[in-house]
Amino acid sequence: MPARRTFGRTWWGRAWVEALEQRARLDPNRLPRGRTYARKDTVQELAVAPGEITARVRGSRPQPYRVTIRMRQFTPQEWDTLLDVAGRRLGHSAALLDGELPEELAAQSRAAGADLLPGPGDLRPRCSCPDPANPCKHVAAVYYLVADEVDTDPFTLFTLRGRPREEVLSRLRELRAPGATRQARPPDPGLTPKTAYARRVAPVPPLPEVPGEPGPPAVLDLDPPARTGWTSAALGALAADGAAFALDLLRTGGALADLTFEEDLARRAARRCAGVPALAAAAGVPPADLAAWAQAWHEAGRSGLAVLREPWAPGPGPLAEARADLADSGLTGTPRTWRNRITLGELQLRYGRDHRWYRFVRSTGRWRLDGPPAERPVDLAYPPE
């Protein structure tokens, strides 16, 4: 039997995998499926560009899924910090110029606040598959295959942070050139205890109030060039949606900051910021599906969309209790149970991962979310008049 495929032959490749599994705060239940998928050679056309990874991943459908992963790029200050750490010791610079990444340099740069490896919130994935999980198995597979790229060239880590290999090496050569001078840092005089305790601490200014409505977008004087395919109206609608979404982030404390592609698509369709058929065509989603997503988002946000799209097995307890409540209420007919769903003719009650029940009705052959959730299923079986 052939040896099992592993990821990370060099220390820097292994460090990438360890960062994914331990520091980047990715869902540990999703990563094993990604490893399995990666071992099956499903990932194609993997490419790394500054701040971005792209690939195609074969799945259950004829066309491969499109995966795009954005990684947070360093600020100029972080690059100054990293290059300063690399230039302090001749051995660090020499190793980098030879195409190697010293383990000590990676540790020192992390301690200085310029970590080359991914941490919490650094990775922002998007996949064209219908799985709403983050990461889906296609994204997770790409994560592991990036270890091969890092094995081959540790400068992949620099590229993902925003600067390609030649740009980093060019700056290092400048720092090593005869006569090169570093920008002198002014000495920190510090404070005596007496001076520190004598300081008066100014109060923190209050945050401005959250506006009631988003502001209107600016009116463009001219349409964009025709070859771009954009119009002033389309750009205005996009800007208006961006302003509305920013307001939602303020109101929810950033709770919607990690929307998946499908969730954001449902949110936009629910706002009617663009015609659903046009939006569906641009996103490659069937219009009927997007209309159902928009209805679910309108009624219950991301939890409504999840219960529409994702069947799951909550265990026998909640469903048995629900069936007993429905029987005690005098409901006629025999309900059919499957996973998190109880079907009574043209009515279906679904149990969400948020421990609430959702009412669905059949419309034109599809189940449609019909109103907000409730704590008890009987309240949805007999909704108030």
Number of domains comprising the chain = 3
- On whether both 69 and 145 belong to a single domain, the answer is yes
Q: What is the residue-averaged pLDDT of the chain?
A: 85
Q: Is the pLDDT of residue 80 over 60?
A: yes
Q: pLDDT confidence of 183, banded at 50, 70, 90?
A: low
Whether 196 is in a domain gets the answer: no
Same domain, 23 and 160: yes
- For residue 328, what are the domain limits? 311-381
pLDDT of residue 365: 85
> What number of H helices and E strands is found in the chain?
15, 9
Which residues make Cβ contacts (< 8 Å) with residue 43, sequence separation at least 6? 37, 55, 56, 57, 141, 142, 145
124-165 pLDDT tens trace: 999 999 988 888 999 999 999 999 999 888 899 999 999 998
pLDDT above 50: residue 111? yes
Residues 288 and 318 in one domain: no
| Residue ending a domain, choose from 124, 144, 176 | 176
Amino acid at 99: G
Buried b (16+ CB within 10 A) or exposed e, 230-243: eeeeebebebbbeb
Specify whether 289 is located in the same domain as 325. Answer: no
Tokens of 160: 């993902």
Per-residue pLDDT at 60: 82
Same-domain check for residues 265 and 326: no
Residue 105 belongs to a domain: yes
Condensed to tens digits (0 to 9), the pLDDT of residues 269-323 reads 988 755 788 888 888 999 999 999 999 999 999 999 999 999 999 988 888 888 8
Summarize pLDDT for 250-276 with one digit per residue, the tens: 888 888 888 999 999 999 998 875 578
DSSP H helices, 217-275, are 232-252, 261-271
> 0.85 cut: is pTM over it?
no
How high is the pLDDT of residue 300?
Answer: 92
Is residue 362 domain-resident?
Answer: yes
Whether residue 119 is found in the same domain as residue 92: yes
Q: Give how far Cα 158 sits from Cα of 52, 115, 288, Å.
A: 11, 10, 43
